[in-house]
Amino acid sequence: MPQDIHVGSPVWVEVPQLAWTGGVVTSVNENEVEVEISDEKKVTTKLSKLHPRDVEAPAGGVDDMTKLSYLHEPAVLYNLAIRYGMKEIYTYCGNILIAINPFQALSHLYDLKLMDSYKGAQLGDRRPHVFAITDVAYRAMITEGKSNSILVSGESGAGKTETTKLIMRYLAYLGGNATAEGQTVERKVLESNPVLEAFGNAKTVRNNNSSRFGKFVEIQFDRRGQISGAAIRTYLLEKSRVCQISDPERNYHCFYLLCAAPREEIERYKLGDPKTFHYLNQSSCYDLVGVDDARDYIKTKKAMDIVGISEDEQDAIFRIVAAILHLGNIAFAKGEEGDSSMLQNDKAKFHLQMTADLLMCDLEALETTLCKRKVVTPEEVIKKSLDPSAAAINRDGLAKTLYSRLFDWLVKKINISIGQDPDSKCLIGVLDIYGFESFKTSR
């Protein structure tokens, strides 16, 4: 409970419409306090709900919040809001960097000239920046011979994905081989981002390019401080998104990229408008402002070339993506027997045929797998019929498994292509913590 609050004290008081607002205490009655927040408005609250306000704090805020007289919630939020209004999106709190998503391109903050200015600088010598944090981690690794990690955390839409890419870009700048040509380790590390984003990112309510998986990138360095290898570890892929999305979100980018592929590929995979696919049309959002899916499809394939995914492998990847879309359109009706199911119509039969062709599997075996399940007993294996609802659940389970296995294969392939340095003694790990949302619940 604040002990230095009395009549006349400048304070922060919580107001539902404004979060925290400044005011002055006009009366104190035991635990009840009256605060004037404007010429004609006063609020009454409990003493324990107030926080002291520093009226001598710099008008433009501070770049390191350890300089604040008070490090409580309203003081921190006010300082960040002031700096954000001045387009200062980075603020230190000791050796922690707080980054606020600007929701606009600020390319001047990340050009080569700026990277040069942070190279070798002490933390605090220059304005707060993600490059400064990365440089400190790199220099400490070089001088002390110890590995370091950089943790990037925050809720969905905070900007973790972009921040992680900036960290990797700056490490490639510091530890890259400027004289090398072709597909260097650092270039493969950077080009792994658009590949993983295509298959692991999606539009959510808060973010057009939200990572729906966690990622730990281990970047290895040789004795000269140059990148000599890397390994990517992923976890918690949101498999449920493959089959179920909420309006106005989108499914994983790769589905829309493939639907916008060149005409010959559309014909090969028998695709079309995303609106015609069950796994995509559960939301009314198909296009993203400022995003060209056709162009991004080409960019993704070029990135695949760089990270060592061959043309045949790329074809296999997109055959699986297309097969999942067709799989989602296989609908079921009640079968002739009690709890059995059958394909609903000719449309469902077409999508079953396409799924089997794309996956290169037996048509009848696939249909049996969807409409029945195996029950293993000590004596025998029994195939039990599924009703239409259970068959649809079975279908979705197969789609999620296919996608999850595909994603894991991609990561493994990228790691093999980049390669690891068995002689490396030092590394920098970059951990991008998955951003979970809070959902309303009903009881």
Q: Which of 201, 207, 228, 415 is catalytic?
A: 207
Query: Could you confirm whether 437 is annotated as catalytic?
Result: yes
| 186 assigned ligand-binding residue | no
Q: Which of 134, 156, 251, 329 is catalytic?
A: 156
Query: Could you confirm whether 417 is annotated as catalytic?
Result: no
| 161 assigned ligand-binding residue | yes
Which candidate, 191, 186, 188, 195, places its Cα nearest to that of 411?
A: 195
CA trace torsion 219, 220, 223, 225 (10° rounding): -10
| 155 assigned ligand-binding residue | yes
DSSP line for 81-133: HHHHHTT--EEEETTEEEE---SS--GGGSSHHHHHHHTTPPTTTS---HHHH
Query: Could you confirm whether 8 is annotated as catalytic?
Result: no
Stretch (H or E) spanning 15: strand 10-15
Note whether 229 and 218 are within 8 A (CB).
no
| 335 assigned ligand-binding residue | no
Q: Determine if residue 94 is left, alpha or beta; phi over 0 gives left, psi from -120 to 50 gives alpha, anything else beta.
A: left
| 156 assigned ligand-binding residue | yes
Asked if omega into 248 is within 30° of 0 (cis), the reply is yes
Query: Could you confirm whether 156 is annotated as catalytic?
Result: yes
Q: Which of 91, 161, 164, 201 is catalytic?
A: 161
Note whether 398 and 327 are within 8 A (CB).
yes
Query: Could you confirm whether 207 is annotated as catalytic?
Result: yes
Query: Could you confirm whether 338 is annotated as catalytic?
Result: no
| 8 assigned ligand-binding residue | no
DSSP line for 217-279: EEEEE-TTS-EEEEEEEEE---GGGGT---TT---BHHHHHHHTS-HHHHHHHT---GGG-TT
Cα dist from 282 to 177, 238, 328, 346, 441, whole Å? 47, 17, 11, 22, 21
| 154 assigned ligand-binding residue | yes
Q: Which of 157, 175, 229, 328 is catalytic?
A: 157
Q: Which of 201, 211, 341, 355 is catalytic?
A: 211
| 419 assigned ligand-binding residue | no
> What residue numbers does the annotated binding site cover?
154-161
Q: Among all residues, which ones are annotated catalytic? A: 156-157, 161, 207, 210-211, 435, 437
> What residue numbers does the annotated binding site for ATP cover?
154-161
